[in-house]
Structure 1
């Protein structure tokens, strides 16, 4: 009787071993697909990073090597479809010569969505890689802005969500410290302007000439901010003062993000 029970269990044990082997095989295949998926994504990321570097160079600008990340999983199905959910591009220390002034962007993060790129384009580098929408966030350093205003001792920073200025000024023979806030204006074309219209100086003589001199100083530091040409046809939409600098938000639609485009 025991022999019969033992004999009857063997097929189930053999079936269990086959099932375990099948599961292990599936896991191995899944692992290989994940590795292949990541390798393909790395190749695409390097290709796009090279294209971005070339585009920046053509604009007479400089930056650290761009970091590119292709989002969405699995990647291989996106390759076959020719459409990618998201491509993130991070650029650091972007600098460009604009009208003789060096304006720096410590960071520029670009988020491209619904990117169209055929397999042949990625393989040969010939053709367009087009993003349906592109959003960029950049930081303008306060040191760079202060250098643009070119006033000894002048400093800029964020105060209660606004752009604040402090500067020493000689008014009627007195060395005074001027403080105040700036209005930041963004035009329809994405031009950034700083307007200092309400400055004060403690201890300033209460005479019309002193006020006139202070107003003249305010106008002298009210400027248009010359940015390096932003990649991907980005147009500035909003500027917000933050502790680390001015945060610039820009966007564009239907944009080629490779050099061919």
Structure 2
């Protein structure tokens, strides 16, 4: 996921600032890391970087930051030639240790969350398909609503689709039931090719995997996490 590349840039910059940590206030380090992340990734909005723990100079002396949080907005992600906009992204890094002259950084653990609106998810969906909220599913499954016209079929459909993590960096939407008038005509495979789809969130650091998808009233929240996460090497 391109959002995680922002994390990489921030960590690399913080590592470089460690060398002169005795002359740099933590607020300056945070601002420099945010500026570099914005410039490197071409972001419209500067991310917010927060170095937690006290004192900062003691953490710097030992080459390890206790906790770092990063928040960013309006990020282009996706894979396979498709762009998927991430409205907001936040990540928390724990135990970020630097080595090899501050060129290598590994976090004991990291977790993050990306929020994707239904409007942006619809842009990544097959042509003519719109994604919207499906409310709360009685069986606890993460569901959204798909509506639209099917190319080659003179019909509009509205179905519930389950959203799941289908790999380390892939989320997928799979319709639960199709209209009987379509399945009765033997068109299920044809329709599913038009409405079931996947979206890849690329550029995850080594050690990070998608863990869950949670639909909300305005979009979906995609969580990711891992241990011994390589942020820079």
| Residue matched to 2:209 | 235
**The structure with more radius of gyration:** 1
| Alignment CA distance shift 1:132-1:198 (3 Å) | same
Gaps of 5+ in 2: 1-20
User: What is the rounded CA distance, in whole Å, between the counterparts of 2:134 and 2:87 in structure 1?
Assistant: 17
Contact (CA 8 Å) 1:91, 1:108: kept in 2 or not? yes
Give the superposition deviation at 1:63: 5.9
Give the superposition deviation at 1:207: 8.6
Give the superposition deviation at 1:82: 2.3
User: C-alpha root-mean-square deviation of aligned residues, in Å?
Assistant: 3.5
Residues 191-224 of structure 1: per-residue CA shift (max 9 Å, x gap): 2111113134xxx759922xx3466323411011
Give the superposition deviation at 1:62: 4.8
| Residue matched to 1:26 | none
| Residue matched to 1:30 | none
| Residue matched to 2:135 | 159
Give the superposition deviation at 1:179: 2.4
Gaps of 5+ in 1: 1-35
| Residue matched to 1:190 | 169
Contact (CA 8 Å) 1:103, 1:228: kept in 2 or not? no
Structure 2 residue 221 is the aligned partner of structure 1 residue 247: yes
User: What is the rounded CA distance, in whole Å, between the counterparts of 1:191 and 1:46 in structure 2?
Assistant: 32
Structure having the larger proportion of residues in helix: 1
User: What is the rounded CA distance, in whole Å, between the counterparts of 2:57 and 2:183 in structure 1?
Assistant: 74
Give the superposition deviation at 1:105: 0.7
User: What is the rounded CA distance, in whole Å, between the counterparts of 2:212 and 2:112 in structure 1?
Assistant: 11
| Residue matched to 2:74 | 93
Partner of 2:45: helix, strand, or coil? Answer: coil
The higher-RCO structure (CA 8 Å, 6+ apart) is: 2
| Residue matched to 1:147 | 123
User: What is the rounded CA distance, in whole Å, between the counterparts of 2:183 and 2:104 in structure 1?
Assistant: 64
| Alignment CA distance shift 1:227-1:168 (3 Å) | same
Alignment length, in residue pairs?
A: 209
Partner of 2:83: helix, strand, or coil? Answer: strand
User: What is the rounded CA distance, in whole Å, between the counterparts of 1:53 and 1:198 in structure 2?
Assistant: 43
Q: TM-score, normalised by structure 1?
A: 0.65
Give the superposition deviation at 1:247: 0.8
